[in-house]
Amino acid sequence: MRTTLGDKILIVFIVLINALLFAKMGTGTAGDWVVIEVNQQEVSRHRLSENRVIPVKGKLGITQVEIKNGKARIRHSPCRNKICIKAGDIQYADRLIACIPNRIVVRVIGEKQRGVDAIVG
């Protein structure tokens, strides 16, 4: 099967559209606060600019949330698979890390919130 000129133009067009979409999406809105929730209840809120380690008591035990250099991450958790630790750092608004077994969610929010994305009934 041969590639025609029309195929090549279509491929270039699709690649350019994808590049433009990724450039427009960017990395995200700057985050300002780290919100820590346990069982869907906010237990603490800290500035993303503060360097600190926050111990949070969850269902399984203590999870350590670290805020350092404008980024937040779960540093230690008693859960078995450690997926929350492997998730790495978050720094942009509307990003989160969840330790489902320990029922802890760490979210980054900005001063200006985007609003509702969708409502499911």
Cβ atoms of 104 and 92 within 8 Å: the answer is no
Nearest to 34 by CA among 117, 95, 87, 88: 95
Indicate if the pLDDT at residue 49 is higher than 70.
yes
Say how far apart CA 3 and CA 11 lie, in whole Å. 10
pLDDT band with cut points at 50, 70 and 90 for residue 67: very high
Confidence (pTM): 0.71
Say how far apart CA 77 and CA 89 lie, in whole Å. 15
Arch. (CATH architecture) of 33-109? Sandwich (2.60)
pLDDT band with cut points at 50, 70 and 90 for residue 26: low
pLDDT band with cut points at 50, 70 and 90 for residue 86: very high
DSSP label of 96: E
Lowest pLDDT segment from 26-40, 47-61, 102-116:
102-116
